[in-house]
Each structure stands twice: as C-alpha cells, then as structure tokens.
Amino acid sequence: MKYNGLSQKISLITGAGQGIGQAVAKRLAEEGAIIAAVDANEEQLQSTVQQMKDEGIRAFAYPGDITDQASVQHIVDQIEKQLGSIYLLVNVAGILRISSIDQLSADDWQQTFAVNTHGVFYVSQAVSKYMMKRSEGVIVTVSSNAGAIPRMNMAAYAASKAAATSFTKTLGLELAAYGIRCNVVSPGSTATPMQWALWPDEQGENQVIKGSLETYKTGIPLQKIADPQNIADAVIFFASEQSSHITMQNLTIDGGATLGI
C-alpha cells in the first residue's frame, strides 16, 4: 500500500541505528521521505545511513545523545538549516534495564528515564517549536505495551514508557490547535537486539510466546513475536495523510499479549 503525504518530507528518527528505529527509517524512505537519522551509537548510525545511501536514499546521519538537551537542540537546528523543515518526528530511542525493584540501582532508574522519557521530551519540544511556527507536522512516539500493564523486573522501563505515552498524548492535545498530530505506537515483544538480550538461550522466543505463570505474564495469542517491520508500518500509517483525523491515540502491536488493554 502506498501512503500519501510523505514524499520528500524531512523525517527525524531517533534510535535509527538499529532495531525498530532502523526499520522505521527504511520504511519511510520507501515512501520517499528524506531521512534525518539520530543515534548515540555513531558506528551503527553511520552504517545504517551508508546502507540507505547505497540504495539511492536521501539519508543523513546526526550522531547525538538525546539525554543532553543542548545537544538535542543543536541537532534539530542543524537539520532545519541543512535539510529543511522537519515534517515528521519519530521517537524510537530507548533502553531497558532489568532488575527487581529491591535491587534496582538509582543509576539504572535515572538512565532509563533519561533516554525513554526525558529524551522524548527534549526532542519533541525542540521539534514542535519549529512545527508550531508552520502549523504543520506529525509526531509519533514508539512506547511499549509495558507502559500499560505491570511487568516484573521492569519497573524503570515500564514507568518510563508510561510517562512517554502520557506525555505524547498531552503534547497532542496542546498542538492540536496548530494542526499537529501526535500519536503513540506501543510494541510488545519484537525481534530486536533489545529483545534478544533478554533470552537466556535459543528457547527464548518460544518462552516469550508461551508466557509465564510465575511472572504473571500472558503469552502471545498470535503465537509469534513482532517483526520490526510490523511496528514501522504502524508508524507510517500515523505519519501519513491516511490518518489525518487521528491524534492522541495509542496503537498496541503485541499479538494480543496484553489482551486488548
């Protein structure tokens, strides 16, 4: 399916070096968007951007730390000056720290919020100020189904994603008067390096699909984990004119793992 309104649009994607961010960047490129790829891992970012350039895609790398507000503002200003008006922002960058609450360090808690919540705020604020002047733009935040349901040993991650989801909806309310739409995509278990790192062995995927009574985690009714492309397709829909009357919504893509919550 071809989506409308994305051709030649400047699209800023955080966490674009790998996983869902990389899939989103490549999917947007298929729709003719111009890619401004941001990631803290410069090596991965440059590799991803070079791959896209080799395929004839207009893609540009902007290495940077989204937990640093000054750095974020500098990157956004650079993109506006060098490429043009940012039409689309996709907040994908995120980290995961696993620990029971009694063992969770203050550093892990703070780092998780620094990326997953503060980073979303810094980038969204910097970009939306430009969008407001033009009364045009779209923001999509990739959150998590963990933001809507308790997950054992994921307190920092779940809380930070819940905050990012709520923030994005409030942002959508404030920006609606400018014609700017803000939506959320919440993946469940997805085939990315973050997910693979959680698997103790080659049976990890089957265990995720099956679920765990001990940790009060349901399995996945569709009997498969998501592909990053599944998430990218949802982002494209929210970014396109096909969803021109949709804002402040949260689309969960988890194969039914959270039972429609």
CB of 167 within 8 A of CB of 211?
no
Among candidate residues 3, 62, 87, 157, the one labeled active-site is: 157
Q: Is residue 169 part of a domain?
A: yes
Mean of the per-residue pLDDT values of the chain: 95
Q: How many structural domains does the chain have?
A: 1
Q: Is residue 114 part of a domain?
A: yes
Q: Is residue 261 part of a domain?
A: no
Asked if 157 is an active-site residue, the reply is: yes
* Structural domain containing residue 185: 10-192+227-252
How far, rounded to the nearest angstrom, does the alpha carbon of residue 38 sit from its chain's CA centroid? Answer: 12
Q: Is residue 3 part of a domain?
A: no
pTM over 0.75: yes
Q: Is residue 60 part of a domain?
A: yes
Q: Is residue 34 part of a domain?
A: yes
The Cα 114–Cα 122 span in angstroms is 10
Instruction: Give the rounded percent of residues in the chain with a pLDDT score beyond 90.
Output: 89
Per-residue pLDDT tens digits for 33-88:
999 999 999 999 999 999 999 999 999 999 999 999 999 999 999 999 999 999 99
Q: Is residue 55 part of a domain?
A: yes
113 pLDDT above the threshold of 80: yes
Q: β-pairing, 59-63 with 86-91? A: unpaired
CATH of residue 134: 3.40.50.720
Per-residue pLDDT tens digits for 67-77:
999 999 999 99
Q: Is residue 220 part of a domain?
A: no
